[in-house]
């Protein structure tokens, strides 16, 4: 008499799905998104910006200098003295050479402080700067 043998695969885990290739792809995509994300340096305070009809949104990484209504200057979430603005902006510009310097001055800030900050930024070698404003509805 002949016996019948059923064929059984050698692997006992043939019913399981191998997740290793999918996890590899997910980790590669995660690394890609982390590397390609542009980081924005925030000033660290909320400023009541004036509004303008010609205001445009800028998406790339920027250096934000905030001026409060009482004259305080904030860069990179830290208060900065007017005499240190030049050095701080020069350091941040070296880290992000393509970033634009944006001055976010409160609408009640004094113009004299704004012009002194702009002078310090120009002395740091930055020629492309903008003043932040809120877009008016059209």
pLDDT at 5 over 70: no
- Do the beta carbons of residue 106 and residue 47 sit within 8 Å? yes
Which of residues 117 and 130 earns the better pLDDT score? 117
Which of residues 67 and 10 earns the better pLDDT score? 67
What residue segments make up the domains of the chain, in order of their start?
A: 51-135
Kindly state the average pLDDT of the residues 59-66.
Answer: 73
CATH 3.20.20.140 fits 51-135, yes or no: no
Q: What is the pTM of this model?
A: 0.56
pLDDT of residue 17: 79
Which of residues 57 and 80 earns the better pLDDT score? 80
Among 137, 132, 6, CA closest to 62: 132
pLDDT digits (tens, 9 = 90+) for 76-90: 888 999 999 999 999
- Do the beta carbons of residue 115 and residue 129 sit within 8 Å? no
DSSP per residue over 48-90, as a string? ---EETT-----S-EEEEEE-TTS-EEETTEEE-GGGHHHHHH
């Amino acid at each position: 008499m002949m016996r019948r043998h059923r064929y059984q695969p050698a692997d006992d885990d043939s019913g399981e799905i191998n997740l290793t290739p999918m996890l590899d792809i997910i980790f590669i995509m995660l690394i890609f998104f982390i590397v390609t994300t542009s980081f924005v340096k925030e000033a660290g305070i909320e400023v009541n910006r004036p509004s303008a009809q010609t205001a445009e949104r800028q998406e790339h990484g920027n250096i934000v200098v905030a001026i409060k209504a009482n004259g305080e200057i904030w860069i990179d979430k830290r208060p900065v003295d007017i005499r240190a603005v030049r050095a701080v902006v020069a350091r941040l510009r070296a880290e992000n050479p393509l970033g634009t310097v944006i001055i976010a001055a409160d609408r009640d800030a004094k113009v004299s402080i704004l012009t002194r900050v702009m002078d310090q930024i120009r002395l740091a070698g930055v020629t492309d700067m903008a003043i932040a404003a809120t877009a008016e509805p059209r």
